[in-house]
Structures are given as structure tokens and as C-alpha cells.
Amino acid sequence: MAMTSIRPQPFRAAVVQASAVPADSAASAAKAAALIAEAAAAGARLAVFPEAFIGGYPKGASFGTPVGIRKPEGRADYARYHDQAVALDGPEVAAVREAATAARMVVVIGIIERAGSTLYCTALIIDGTAGTMAHHRKLMPTGAERLIWGFGDGSTLPVVETALGQVGAVICWENYMPMMRMAMFAQGVTLYCAPTADDRDGWAASMRHIALEGRCHVLSACQFIRRGDYPADYDCALGDDPATVLMRGGSMIVGPLGEVLAGPDYAGETILYADIDPEEIPRARYDFDVAGHYARPDVFRLEVDTRAKPPVAFRTDSD
């Protein structure tokens, strides 16, 4: 995607570290809308929310699936989880879009998208000023996530041109996929958004590396959520003490030379802010442009299949 000809002006960005309402997607959407308004009141023009903020990240759940076995109670857990997933044209997404439009903000937020009987871990990119929305379906669910989420394809790898810069979203451990990152860099991403559920110490180092590698601003958002935010009968391998912290946050904002502008924060629910100067991007890329003068296209080439793929491929005798 070509870089915008209108040079973006400095602005304030926010990463939202908050707990979702895992059993009530409508309540999660309402909470997101309120947090968008709060961030806008603080002067933010971009807000990034965590992975699966609407629909819920099922931390510690097994869905009753030891190897070779599907327990009936696990099927019931999945049915409840499926019920909380949302459609792209549903009322929960509409509530977030309306909040983004009212605040004239760019919003990146993680949802659990329902498409038929398949669920996808999806990140929405909403430009409330331009009235546009794009979405990215997680390409590679990690570990047991593969039990409950389908695999995205190359048709949902957008970098969206906004008045603030080029916005892309890479979800959780997709950030460890070098070719996925390069697909973002090749599209000129300047605002690299990383909704995540990873709250480990090493995550901050990865965010700093990506900012330095891509010479872009990186905005990572993770939930701070306790066991008590989930229903009492939620099947959780981490126990049932309501005070147990299931995800401790670690949200942060990093500048294009790897400098930490905000966070990481592990203390609780919060909104982190940083002032972003888009002029820092060309300054940073002066000596290293990963998709430009440092790319060596005579040696390396990235090919991305952007065709949409059906969940199941059917062939006929005429194929």
C-alpha cells in the first residue's frame, strides 16, 4: 500500500489494559465504548485493545479435550463460548464503531468472530473519522487455541491508511512469525498494533525488537483479568480463587528506535498514553528500512497469497 501523501501530524495514542466480560459480549462492547470515550477525553486519537476483548479469551480452559477424547461437558463449554462470539455486522461491533465515530478515533480491538459454526480470533481496525473498517483473522492459533478457532488466510492482512499513519494488526504469537511481520513491513506499516494475551516477561523484549526491526511505533495491549471476572462454573486449570490473576497485562507503547514510551504495566486495569510524532519514522528509517534500502530484493523475496480460502475445498470432476 502506498504511503499517504498527506504527512500525519503528532497525536496521542492509547493502549487499553482492561478486563473483558467473558460471559457477556454485549457488556464487553459497552465497556469498550466507554473506554474509547475515556481515551478520547484524554486526547487520544488511536486506541488499541487486547486480543479477544469481545467474545473472551478462555485462559486456562481445556474444553474437555484430552487427546483422543471429547467430553460432553467440553462440548457444552464450547457451545457457551460459541454463543458469546460476535458477527462482523452484529450489534456488538456496531457499538464499537459508533463509539469510534463519535470520538473520531482509530480503534483496533480483538474480537471472537463467529462465521457459521467456526470461530476466528480477529482484530478489527476501525477508522471512526473515515468510517472504514478492516479485519484480520489470526493466521496461526497457538497450542490449544486450535481446538476452538479456525485459521485465517492471506486475504485478511490489511494495513489501513489513516490520517495518523499506516495501521496494521498482528495478533499475539503471530508476532513471532518473521514472514508475517515482513508482510506488514512491506505494506508500509507505521502504527503496528499487537493485541495479545501474552503477559510473560519476554513479551516486552519482543515488542521492542519489532519496533526496532520495522522502524515503526508498536502498540501492544493485553488484558488485566482475574478469575472472578469469569463465571463461577468456568472450567479453569488455574483454579477457582476469584482473586487469581489470569492475565496480568504488560501493555506498552514503543517508539521506532526501540525506546519504551509507556509501560509495560502489570499493576491492574489502566489506559497507557504516549505522544506519537510520525516524523520519527523517516528519521528512524534513515539507516535501516527493512522493506526498502536494507531489503536486498536481489537475494530475498516475500510472496503472500492474498486469496480468500474456504474452510473446506471442494473439487468437481471438471476441476
Distance CA(72)–CA(311), nearest Å, equals 25
Is 31 an annotated catalytic residue? no
Please give the backbone phi and psi of residue 136, each rounded to the nearest 5 degrees, phi first: -125, 125
Is 213 an annotated catalytic residue? no
Non-local (6+) Cβ contacts of 202 within 8 A are none
Return the DSSP state at 11. E
Catalytic residue (one of 31, 59, 92, 172): 172
Catalytic residue (one of 113, 138, 213, 216): 138
For 135-156, give one letter per residue: b (16+ CB within 10 A) or e.
bbbbbbbbeebebbbbebbeeb
Return the DSSP state at 241. -
Distance, C-alpha 93 to centroid of its chain: 15
Non-local (6+) Cβ contacts of 99 within 8 A are 32, 33, 34, 36, 37, 107, 128
Distance CA(234)–CA(236), nearest Å, equals 6
Distance CA(17)–CA(53), nearest Å, equals 10
Distance CA(113)–CA(120), nearest Å, equals 5
Coil, helix or strand at residue 276: strand
Is 172 an annotated catalytic residue? yes
**Active site amino acids:** 51, 138, 172
